[in-house]
Each structure stands twice: as structure tokens, then as C-alpha cells.
Structure 1
């Protein structure tokens, strides 16, 4: 994996990372927003130590452990990735309530257009903020 300097990571702030999507997915996974490592590489959940890829495999969604750089293979398994908020930041707490709400509105439209069988929001806090559902629970 490429090592980035702090300056290179900071330069990735506010970048947009393209979704990995197609019509009729089985599951559309939705993160909060891209982190700086994701924005720097252009690959979702790219930070070393991120549990998304290992958990995806261990849960049986993929036949092998994929690297972030192999994210395009998800489509062949009927899987995709998007985010509630598109812009990259170092931490989710840098996002405003308005960004979460607007992201929720855009996410609902994206789901309506793509028609995945399931939407899996990776982060209950993001779901609560995006859909103004403070009592949403995991599961």
C-alpha cells in the first residue's frame, strides 16, 4: 500500500470518491463519508486497519478477502458502496447536520434510482443524523 505524507492526505480533503454502484444490487453498503486515505487512493474503506473488507469476507459476501483497490469486483457479487456525505474529511464530526440531512435526501433518491434489494448503512450515527431518527438501533 502506498504511504502518504500528512500533506498528501490533507490535500485529499473535500475530494469526492466515485460510488461503486449498478442497478439492481443485492446490497448497497453506505458509509458515513470518505476518509482522507479513501480520497487519496480513490478506494473506499482504504485506511489500513479498516474492518470493512475483512468483515465483508468473513460474513460470506465475498469468496475471498478483497483489497480496497479491488472494489470494482464488488459489482460481480451484486454489491456496491456509496456514502451518506460525498466529501472527504479526516473525521465524521467535521460534517454538519445540514450535510447529513442533505446526504440522506440524496441517498434516498439514489436508492430509489438503483433499487438495491438491501441498503446497509455502515454507522448508526450517520443513519440517525441523515434521516433524523435519533432512536434508530443497530440491526
Structure 2
């Protein structure tokens, strides 16, 4: 699917549906949808986003899924939601209070759906929304509701701190931890 500039401009503020069900192994939580994702209605949809390759290379799926196949995650016991539902061009357009409100919403989703693990994909969102300024990547000492919590690096191609290999390795650590 090709997305033109007008479609991107029209995507500002849109939301996209969660891919979620009761009893998931892992609920992956993005920061918020980017404009490309909102324009397509698919999570982590922008070409160059490394979520889908990292998910596969980390051992969660037997092949690399395309964003258009996101509903297939449920068969693997996986799901996707976001801390903040509204789409923006960049995560730095979000306000701290949106992250705090998103943290409360995620706690409600954890209570309602009971995933074994929540994997928050973005350390800055976690530090801000959960008021954990010194948090590091990996398993967190306190979960969210009934769910254990793991923080992963942001898979955006803009996150130069992680190569595709090191990002996949971080996903693999979570996969190994949950068995």
C-alpha cells in the first residue's frame, strides 16, 4: 500500500484498533501510531520500522509478518496496542500528561485482558508515563496489573542506538525469558 502526503496529513490524530485478546502471552505496546500507521490502519506499518523483523528474528514468529498480517499475531498469543492512541508525526509531539494517562489506560487493559507479559516498546515512554526516570531496557521489577513488564528499545528506524541485530537480540531476551 502506498501512502501519499495528503493521506499522511489526514492521519494526524487518528487512532487504530488494538490487536488484542484475553490471555495473550505478550501484549506489545508502542508509543503511539505514526502517521503512516494511522493512514494504513496497521501497527508499525512504516517501511523501515524494525518491529516486524525484530519480532521474527527474536523468535516470536516462524516467519516475518507484514503489517497487513497483524491479526495473525493473535494465533501466536501476541497482541499490539499503544500507550497513546492518537497518531503524530513524531513521538516528541506527545505531552507528558498523555503518557501518564496512557499508563492508566494500559493498566485497565492489563486488568481486562490479562496478558502474561506487557512489552513496552520505547524506554522514554515508560520513563515518562510510569515516572521511572532511571529505568533501563529489560525486565522491570514491578509489572502492570497482573502482567509482568519488559521494556524494549523503540524499533523505529530513527533509533540509531540499536542496529537491526541488537534490536533482534533484545526481543530474543524477552522470548527466552517467557519460554
TM-score range, shorter-chain basis?
over 0.9
Q: CA offset at residue 3 of structure 1?
A: 1.9
What is the rounded CA distance, in whole Å, between the counterparts of 1:122 and 1:35 in structure 2?
A: 14
Unaligned 5+ segments in structure 1 are none
The Cα offsets for residues 66-117 of structure 1, whole Å up to 9 and x where unpaired, read as 0000000000000000000000000000001111110011011111111100
Counterpart in the other structure of 1:101: 100
Counterpart in the other structure of 1:122: 121
TM-score by length of 1: 0.97
SS in 1 for 2:110: helix
Counterpart in the other structure of 1:44: 43
Q: CA RMSD in A?
A: 0.6
Counterpart in the other structure of 1:90: 89
TM-score by length of 2: 0.76
Q: CA offset at residue 57 of structure 1?
A: 0.4
Larger relative contact order, structure 1 or 2 (CA cutoff 8 Å, min sep 6): 1
Which portions of structure 1, spanning 4 or more consecutive aligned residues, are displaced by more than 2 angstroms? Answer: none
What is the rounded CA distance, in whole Å, between the counterparts of 2:123 and 2:82 in structure 1?
A: 13
What is the rounded CA distance, in whole Å, between the counterparts of 1:132 and 1:108 in structure 2?
A: 14
Unaligned 5+ segments in structure 2 are 139-179
What is the rounded CA distance, in whole Å, between the counterparts of 2:75 and 2:3 in structure 1?
A: 30
Map 1:1-139 → 2, pairs under 5 A: 2-139=1-138
